[in-house]
Amino acid sequence: MKHTILTGDIVNSRMVDGKLWRAQLHAVLSNYAENYDIYRGDSFQAILSLEKSIICTIVLMAKLQTIDGVRVRVGVGIGEVDATANTVKESTGEAYIRSGEAFDDLRRDLFKMNSPWPEMDRTINIMMGLCTEIMSRWTVNMAESFAAAIENPEKSQVELAKLLKRKHQSQLSTELTKAGFNKIHESVNYCTQQIMKQC
């Protein structure tokens, strides 16, 4: 059975209080991952199901971007996982190797996928590259609105505005439009569908 391994680190982690980004990192990974480790101060590794590969990565990027100046880089590996050790970072298998290779190949990019399906990787890496380029232009408010909307699909914009303590629903609507919410959400769904088709 194939799994997804995320290998990542926090960009500019020393520029802010570590408690801020650690709280966001723990919140997202505990919600989406089957298990995870944080090590070397600002690096992490997580194991999760295939269908959560892209949504977890996007939510993680959005949540971390609510902290001004902070970003997250993620290498996504898909493959078989050997019997796990006591911790995620000590475990082995194809997915771990692919994730590490993807992370090592990031250079200036924030996302890279490495799976057994090269053509799919090419499509997803292009689409996610465009998404992260759009996200790089977000304000903190746009990141907050995006994260709230994608994590609470059942809530109306009025409810989301109250959740975020925005004075007007129109402010939230404007922030989501500027953040490219619909296009990024469509991309997340498409990429997830492509991954699930391979299984």
Query: Digits of tens for pLDDT over the chain (199 positions)?
Result: 899 999 999 998 888 888 889 999 999 999 999 999 998 888 999 999 999 999 999 999 999 999 988 999 999 999 999 866 566 766 789 999 999 999 999 988 999 999 999 999 999 999 999 999 999 999 999 999 999 999 999 999 999 999 999 999 999 999 999 999 999 999 999 999 999 998 7
CA nearest neighbour of 150 among 20, 32, 2: 32
pLDDT at 86: 63
Look at residue 16 in the predicted model and tell me its pLDDT: 85
**What CATH fold (topology level) applies to the domain 2-197?**
Alpha-Beta Plaits (3.30.70)
Confidence (pLDDT) at 175: 97
pLDDT at residue 83, rounded to an integer? 67
Distance of alpha carbon 7 from alpha carbon 88, whole angstroms: 10
What pLDDT is attached to residue 38?
Answer: 92
Look at residue 13 in the predicted model and tell me its pLDDT.
Answer: 85
10: left (phi over 0), alpha (psi -120 to 50) or beta: beta
* pLDDT value at residue 88: 72
CB neighbourhood size of 87 (10 A): 12
